[in-house]
Amino acid sequence: MSIDARIKIIIVEAQPVVRAGIKHFIANIADMIVVGEALNGHDAIRLARQIEANLMLIEIAFNDRNGIDVLKQIKREFPHIAIIVFSSHREDQYAIRALKAGASGFMNKQCSQEELLRGINQVASGLKLISPELAQEMANNLSHEYASEPHKTLSDREYQTMTMIASGKSVSDIAKELSLSVKTISEYRARILIKMRLRHNGELTHYAIKNELVE
């Protein structure tokens, strides 16, 4: 019996049109196959447990769970699955956090089909996928770990909370959306202000807009 050596891919993407486009493209590649599709973080973890796969294309901007947390959990349970974060967000906003959480690479949704194919093959072969610009930023950070950009000292959850506050959401709204207590979110907010040396939400919002951390 022959062994199926194709790259088995799970697509995690909320937008049906994007999923369909990727699936149609991969269907024409002989050594790749889409074995599952997920809409959110919960489904991504469920499929990873149920379906044999060796690569995931993930848009980590989930509505149900923190994308970095989902990525960490999948890598913790299935370290053999290579993960490419396939996102519409700017690379400098999420790529380093995603790589630290276990992702093998980051690609923008504006990439060409040829770039996507090359990226999948590169990651499937065991290599990392990072742009020259990101590689330079990571090298720079070795000598001054985020010193010039206070938001990079935040934990993943603190960073998520910071962007939500800067987007105009209240503490209670954030608590409800993240399924956490108001007290917990208030503690995150307090830590964020201390770490970033800010006094109130207004300064936080100004900082986030100035540094293009919110759309």
Which of the listed ranges 45-54, 67-76, 95-104, 145-154 does the model predict with the highest average pLDDT?
Answer: 45-54
Name the segment(s) of the chain with CATH classification 3.40.50.2300: 7-139
Tens of pLDDT, residues 124-138: 999 988 877 777 766
Which class is 150-210 in CATH?
mainly alpha
Q: Cβ(9)–Cβ(34) under 8 Å? A: yes
Is the pLDDT at 119 greater than 80, yes or no?
A: yes
Flag whether the pTM goes above 0.75: no
Q: Please, are residues 38 and 83 in contact by the beta-carbon 8 Å criterion?
A: no
Spatial CB neighbours of 146, under 8 Å, sequence gap ≥ 6: 152, 153
Determine the pLDDT at residue 1. Answer: 36
Note the CATH architecture for domain 7-139: 3-Layer(aba) Sandwich (3.40)
Q: Note whether 93 and 151 are within 8 A (CB).
A: no
- pLDDT tens for 135-148 read 776 666 655 554 56
Where in the sequence of the chain do the CATH 1.10.10.10 domains occur? 150-210
pLDDT at 82 over 90: yes
Side chain identity, residue 191: R
pLDDT at 7: 95
Alpha-carbon dihedral 122, 123, 127, 129, rounded to 10 degrees:
80
